[in-house]
């Protein structure tokens, strides 16, 4: 799979989807406060929790190897949380678009990663 351009393009898209989800989670956390002294800790706190979850359980070199269902649960929390966060800051259409991209991209990525190598 690694030699196919569509596989590589989907992996690049996955990276940008992950960054977008983290940005949306920060934005949502930031929007919860009334003053910068509250906004920044909330934004960075939500971001730190998402990064910790991702790094420990969903990243390619995750510290703890979960079964596929566990990895997908963490991805649902972080990536789906990013889409919900976008809704929470007042962008419902963008939230739906992001959710659709997350589902399609993650489905394709996991299918490509889990597909057995062809036999010769």
For 73-100, how does the pLDDT look when each residue is reduced to its tens digit (9 = 90+)?
999 999 999 999 999 999 999 999 999 9
Which tokens in the block code for residue 103?
Answer: 């589902």
Q: Where are the domains of the chain?
A: 5-114
Would the pTM of this model clear 0.85, i.e. be above it? Answer: yes
For 38-68, how does the pLDDT look when each residue is reduced to its tens digit (9 = 90+)?
999 999 999 999 999 999 999 989 999 999 8
Provide the percentage of residues in the chain whose pLDDT is more than 70.
92
Burial class (CB in 10 A: 0-12, 13-18, 19+), 64: exposed
Q: Can you tell me the distance from the alpha carbon of 77 to that of 110, in angstroms, rounded to the nearest whole number?
A: 16
Cβ atoms of 49 and 67 closer than 8 Å: no
């Amino acid at each position: 799979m690694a030699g196919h351009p569509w596989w590589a393009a989907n992996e690049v898209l996955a990276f940008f989807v992950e960054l977008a989800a983290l940005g949306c989670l920060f934005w949502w956390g930031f929007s919860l406060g009334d003053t910068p002294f509250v906004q920044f800790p909330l934004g960075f706190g939500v971001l730190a929790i998402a990064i910790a979850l991702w790094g420990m359980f969903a990243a390619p070199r995750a510290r703890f190897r979960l079964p596929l269902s566990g990895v997908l649960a963490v991805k649902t929390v972080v990536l789906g949380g990013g889409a919900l966060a976008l809704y929470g800051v007042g962008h419902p259409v963008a939230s739906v678009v992001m959710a659709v991209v997350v589902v399609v991209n993650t489905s394709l990525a996991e299918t490509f990663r889990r597909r057995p190598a062809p036999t010769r």
